Structure 1
Amino acid sequence: MKEDEDYLWPGAHRVADDVTDSAGMVQFYPTRGAVPPNLWDRLLDAATAEVGILVYVGMFLTEKPDLLDRLHKKATTGARIRILLGDRESSAVKQRSVDEGIGRETISAKIDQANAFFGSLKGVPNIEVRNHSTVLYNSVYRFDNDMIVNPHVYGKTAPMAPAMHLRKTAMYGLFNTYADSFEAVWESARESRS
């Protein structure tokens, strides 16, 4: 049975997580699946001002049974929660589905599931869900001044592509580059109909 290193040796990665280079790189992972599950939880728990999610689907998030409750609680304490899901009808979504070799409508169907999952948050103050039709070069998961960026690779599904844990630094760095990209997509997106 394979166990997460942080489960076996709690705190072993804590020192590495606190070290960033001048560009804001905390840790590089060979695949998104290699990001320790507890890192996602730790970053979400620590966020007090902003949580931003930019994906086409983010299906692995819908597998967290308490995620909606946690996002709702964050919003009620004043955190701004912004979720960007793909537009199921966009040509970019259809093409990504073909490029990943999973069928033209597969990602669209998964977006339907994600819209239904996050739909229960509609109307909650401080939470907005929008759909975008951009070509998604990266999935972005922001937690205040930390983020995980999942650059996409042609022919591979998102869990098989690399991931970077970034942290905002005093200098303009990688964090800012991806935060700016998130904002550009946010401005072009429309409110979710779900």
Structure 2
Amino acid sequence: MNEALRRAMFAARLSDDEIAVQLGVDVKTVGRWVRGRTPSARHRGPLARLLRLEEPDLWPEVLTLRGVRATPTEVVAVYPQRNLVTREAWIDLFESAEKQIDILAYAALFLAEDKRLVDLLAAKADGGVVVNLALGNPQAAEVRHRGTAEKIGESLSAKIRNALVRYRPLLDRPGVTLRLHDTVLYNSMYRADGQVLVNQHVFGLPAAQAPVFHLRWLEGGEMFDLYMESFAEVWRAARPADGVVG
């Protein structure tokens, strides 16, 4: 039952029949609205004006519906956790790259441990794709702080060193560049040309348990470019990995 609608009709002294006549609908339709069905957009506005109210006063869910419609079409998908992004999705992402792959993370060890994904990055580099890897400096204070926040202590530095060893074969390819950053990461990014998976960082949780946004570049969009500007800032400040990767 939509109590807000029922009370508004009572206050306006309008019956189901009178509203049906005013809006040009069947009286049974008005009855369904009173019992809880949300009217279509073309009827919500006229009915709200007839009762001298705003649509959200009668149907609070309209705010949610409008939010869904307002979601930028740059958003392809949202995953509640990175663990829910399938291996096939990662493969499809990097397979799609024809010009550039950018990876920003602390370790991205889950990728480094997957031989097929590392081989795919190598094949892409051999095919002329520019591959930029920005990983955390295992000696940085920011990495220690993140390890403490995630309750894994020095394990994060160890994960980075492990990842650096596993990514080492890629560095023999022309077009592959590895840099180390000291940034406090708010998110990790995995970009292939006009697509990017953005792994949010949630305080106290490992990245694998945090949400992921799959975005695509669109003319006139803002989100994709915003994240790419952020990547560029980190990349400019990052240092070559010489001496750390041997």
TM-score of the aligned structures, taking structure 1 as reference length: 0.86
1:162 is matched with which residue?
A: 211
Structure 1, residues 114-146: CA drift from partner, whole Å, max 9, x if none? Answer: 111111222421100111000011000001100
Selected match of 1:36 from 86, 103, 107 = 86
Contact 1:118-1:129 at 8 Å conserved across structures: no
Contact 1:93-1:107 at 8 Å conserved across structures: yes
Q: What is the deviation of 1:23? A: 5.2
The reply to whether residue 111 of structure 1 matches residue 160 of structure 2 is: yes
Partners of 1:142 and 1:189 in 2: CA distance: 18
Partners of 1:32 and 1:121 in 2: CA distance: 24
Contact 1:138-1:150 at 8 Å conserved across structures: yes
Q: What is the deviation of 1:35? A: 1.4
Q: What is the deviation of 1:22? A: 3.1
Selected match of 1:61 from 111, 115, 123 = 111
Q: What is the deviation of 1:77? A: 1.5
The two structures, once aligned, show a CA RMSD in angstroms of: 1.4
5+ unaligned residues in a row in structure 2: which ranges?
Answer: 1-70
1:66-81 equivalence runs, <5 A: 66-81=116-131
Q: What is the deviation of 1:52? A: 0.6
**Which structure's relative contact order is higher, taking Cα pairs within 8 Å and 6+ residues apart?**
1
The reply to whether residue 148 of structure 1 matches residue 197 of structure 2 is: yes
Distance 1:185 1:172, change over 3 A: same
Partners of 1:109 and 1:69 in 2: CA distance: 23
Contact 1:78-1:126 at 8 Å conserved across structures: yes
Name the % identity: 38
Contact 2:72-2:221 at 8 Å conserved across structures: no
The reply to whether residue 93 of structure 1 matches residue 147 of structure 2 is: no
Name the one with the larger strand percent.
1
Q: What is the deviation of 1:191? A: 0.9
Instruction: Report how many residues are paired.
Output: 174
TM-score of the aligned structures, taking structure 2 as reference length: 0.68
The DSSP-based 3-state class of the residue aligned with 2:174 is coil
